[in-house]
Amino acid sequence: MKKLFLIILLLFTATSLVAQHNHNHSADNTLDVKEIDVKHSLYHLDAKWTDHRGDTVTLDDFKGKPVIVVMFYGNCTDVCPILIQDTWRLYSSIDKSVQKDVNVLAVSFDTENDTPEVLNEYAKYEQLDIPGWHFMTADDADVRTLAMMLGVQYSKKSDGHFAHSNLVTVLDEKGRIAHRVEGLNQPMDEVKGTIELIMDRLNK
């Protein structure tokens, strides 16, 4: 009986250590969101972006309507798929009369691997190669500048993966930050309301 108890104790300890390791691994990959100045428009950034359809765009091309922005990378199999689905959950919850005027910019910070061709495959895999959605890449410096303006932190690790903030941002019609949702699986009712209020204001 004593021997059986020791075996059970060892198994419990091993399971606890594995669970703790996995938890800490997830925590190590998550960076805090930084405070930002919401008064500044992101549309003054003149970087050229290429989306997953091969089109060249600037952020200014999306002015005049609400825009949802999320930063991710394609090789992330842990939190990024959840982050993209959170963005879809927000987008799909918006009233259809408003949704057609909302663009989604999914910006990769893995500029080495996430080429427009790779992003095209990613968009199709996620079933998000749809009007209004743009999976985008640019030069390292331009991606870093956008991240800084949004308050997103990211850092490449030795294994090629990234530690990063988990953030969904809504820009108003002038490119100013109107709402930010930090974390995964967060409620979207408030930010949905922000988007619809922007559109109500524009339609008056």
pLDDT digits (tens, 9 = 90+) for 22-55: 333 344 578 788 777 778 899 999 999 999 999 9
- What is the rounded distance in angstroms from the CA atom of residue 45 to the CA atom of residue 110? 20
Q: For residue 51, which of 108, 99, 127, 91 has the smallest C-alpha distance?
A: 108
Q: What pLDDT, on the 0 to 100 scale, is given for residue 195?
A: 97
Residue 153 has pLDDT above 50, yes or no: yes
Q: What pLDDT, on the 0 to 100 scale, is given for residue 24?
A: 34
pLDDT digits (tens, 9 = 90+) for 60-111: 999 999 999 999 999 999 899 999 999 999 999 999 999 999 999 999 999 9
Helices marked H in the chain: 2-28, 80-93, 96-99, 116-125, 140-150, 189-202
Tokens at 180, concatenated: 């930010």
Q: What pLDDT, on the 0 to 100 scale, is given for residue 181?
A: 97
Single pTM value for the model: 0.85
pLDDT digits (tens, 9 = 90+) for 164-190: 999 999 999 999 999 999 999 999 999
First to last CA, the chain: 78
Neighbouring-strand partners of residue 164 = 30, 154
How does residue 5 score in pLDDT terms, banded at 50, 70 and 90?
very low
- What is the rounded distance in angstroms from the CA atom of residue 73 to the CA atom of residue 69? 13
Neighbouring-strand partners of residue 106 = 70, 135
Q: What pLDDT, on the 0 to 100 scale, is given for residue 28?
A: 56
SS (H, E, C) 114-159: CCHHHHHHHHHHCCCCCCCEEEEECCHHHHHHHHHHHCCCEEECCC
How does residue 1 score in pLDDT terms, banded at 50, 70 and 90?
low
Residues 6 or more apart from 191 whose CB is under 8 A from it?
90, 168, 170, 179, 181
